[in-house]
Every structure is written in C-alpha cells, then in structure tokens.
C-alpha cells in the first residue's frame, strides 16, 4: 500500500473519534469500574508524566480485558482534554464498532501491511503536540510475571519515525488486598525521549523499551506485595464491603454500640 493511501486511511480512522462519545463512554466505564473494583490507584513513587508532555506515547503490559477500561479512565482523569487513541485488533473493532468513536483504531495483526498502517496512524496522532497514544505493547494478553518482556516491533520503528516523541512505560496489575473487589494498580516509568534511543538499531530499541517496561512492572509488583494503600494515590474509588445481609447486620450492630460504621473490610473491628 502506498504512503498516500496509508495516510488517507489513517486520517479516516482518526476523524471517527468523538469527544462527546468519549465522555459518554468514560462515564459508563467509570460506573462499571466502581461496581466491580475497590479502587484504581497510581503509585506515588511512579507517578504519571506531566500531562502536557508533547507527543506522548504510553506503552503498557497487557494482563487483562480491563486494560481498555484502564486506558479510558486514565485518559479521562490524568490526561483529561487530550484526544487519546488506542490501537486494537481490527477484528475486535469490527465486532465493537463503537470503540472507533472513543479513540480506537484497527490494526490487522495478520496482514503484512498491518505494521505500516499502525505507523501511519501513529504518525498522524503525534503530528499534533497534544497527541496521546496508548499501546498494549506486547500485542497479546500476558501474565504480569512473564519474563522477559517481548514487545511488538512497531513501537521501536515509531521511535525512529517520531524523533520528537516521548515514550513512557506503564505497568498495570490487578490484585486482591483486603476487600472483596480487586485493586487496579498502576505505575509509570521514567520517560524516554526518542532522541535518547535514536542511535540504536531497531532490535536494540525494542530491547531498551522492554527493559524499561519490565523494570516498571517489577517495581509495581514489589508495591503490590507490600499491600500499602498509602503508597498509592487513588484515582477512582469503587465498592467496599461485602454487601447484602452481612453488611446490614454490621451496620445495625455499630448503631447499637454507638460506633461509626465503615463497610470496608479493613476497617472492621
């Protein structure tokens, strides 16, 4: 496919995004998250980069179906106001067409032109200083304990094609602590400029990006094991307690004792 055709295809994909639709589905996803999770937390030791960093690429591991929701919530909170875009399997986009309206664009993983189409669209996104690209860089679901981290090659090629971009590793993990619902833990790594990687070969670039993500994931794992909520900043709070008859009984007992009732399991006497 010619460069002009790729660019035209990329332009069509990006113009489908609707700020109104993104806001609507961000609200829907937030309510779904609150129902099924205890909290979305960002490490204080690995905070988000400056939200106004130009031409920003966040590349993450891919442990769960919920990663897409995590991307939307991050774009809606930490990077509010920036049009974020996410590449997904073209087959999934055909199945869930609404996702094009909230910033997803399809990549044909089985086609030899899929990589070129990804790069063309990514270049278009990063043409604008407020361009924000969020990528599950492994290109498949993978356990957080899998080592070494293997990234798809498109990211390393994008480094060469966008020498003015900033790449930030993003670690995601889903853990159970003291509550019935799980925690979504997030940690950002040290930003890497394209210029700092430009002298490396494609394989060396990919390895460097992989090591940065792996180190960020290892640091998040250590924080998950420590189980200290104070080490994190809460972005979205979800449900607490067990619910149902059990929590009604606990509430009545606290009332009879003149005590403050908290449904959180960690606060239970």
pLDDT tens for 143-188 read 999 999 999 989 999 998 899 999 999 999 999 999 989 999 999 9
Tokens 């007992």 found at: 253
What domain range is 251 assigned to? 240-269
> Do residues 154 and 265 both lie within one domain?
no
Q: Residue 134 above 80 pLDDT? A: yes
Q: Rounded to two decimals, what is the model's pTM?
A: 0.85
Question: Cis link prior to 148 (omega < 30° from 0)?
Answer: yes
Number of structural domains (the chain) is 2
> Do residues 30 and 142 both lie within one domain?
yes
Burial of 57 (0-12, 13-18, 19+ CB in 10 A): buried
> Do residues 219 and 257 both lie within one domain?
no
> Do residues 14 and 130 both lie within one domain?
yes
**For all residues of the chain together, what is the average pLDDT?**
88
Kindly report the number of other CB atoms within 10 A of residue 5's CB atom: 13
pLDDT digits (tens, 9 = 90+) for 209-231: 999 999 999 999 999 999 999 99
Q: Give the pLDDT score at 109.
A: 74
> Do residues 100 and 134 both lie within one domain?
yes
> Do residues 128 and 261 both lie within one domain?
no
> Do residues 244 and 168 both lie within one domain?
no
> Do residues 208 and 249 both lie within one domain?
no
Strand 166-175, strand 56-60: pairing: parallel
Instruction: Select from 33, 148, 25 the least CA-distant residue to 84.
Output: 25
Q: Give the pLDDT score at 258.
A: 64
């Amino acid at each position: 496919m010619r460069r002009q055709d790729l660019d035209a295809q990329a332009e069509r994909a990006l113009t489908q995004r609707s700020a109104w639709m993104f806001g609507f589905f961000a609200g829907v996803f937030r309510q779904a998250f609150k129902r099924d999770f205890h909290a979305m937390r960002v490490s204080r030791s690995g905070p988000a980069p400056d939200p106004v960093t130009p031409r920003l690429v966040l590349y993450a591991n891919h442990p769960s179906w919920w990663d897409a929701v995590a991307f939307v919530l991050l774009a809606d909170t930490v990077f509010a106001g920036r049009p974020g875009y996410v590449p997904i399997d073209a087959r999934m986009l055909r199945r869930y067409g609404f996702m094009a309206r909230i910033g997803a664009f399809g990549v044909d993983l089985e086609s030899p032109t899929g990589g070129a189409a990804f790069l063309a669209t990514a270049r278009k996104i990063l043409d604008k200083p407020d361009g924000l690209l969020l990528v599950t860089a492994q290109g498949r679901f993978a356990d957080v304990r899998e080592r070494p981290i293997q990234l798809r090659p498109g990211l390393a090629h994008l480094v060469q094609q966008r020498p003015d971009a900033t790449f930030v590793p993003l670690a995601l993990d889903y853990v159970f602590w003291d509550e019935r619902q799980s925690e979504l833990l997030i940690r950002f790594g040290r930003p890497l400029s394209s210029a700092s990687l430009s002298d490396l070969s494609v394989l060396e670039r990919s390895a460097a990006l992989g090591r940065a993500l792996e180190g960020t994931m290892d640091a998040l794992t250590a924080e998950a094991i420590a189980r200290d909520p104070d080490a994190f900043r809460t972005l979205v709070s979800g449900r607490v307690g067990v619910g149902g008859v059990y929590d009604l009984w606990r509430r009545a007992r606290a009332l009879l004792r003149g005590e403050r009732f908290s449904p959180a399991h960690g606060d239970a006497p």
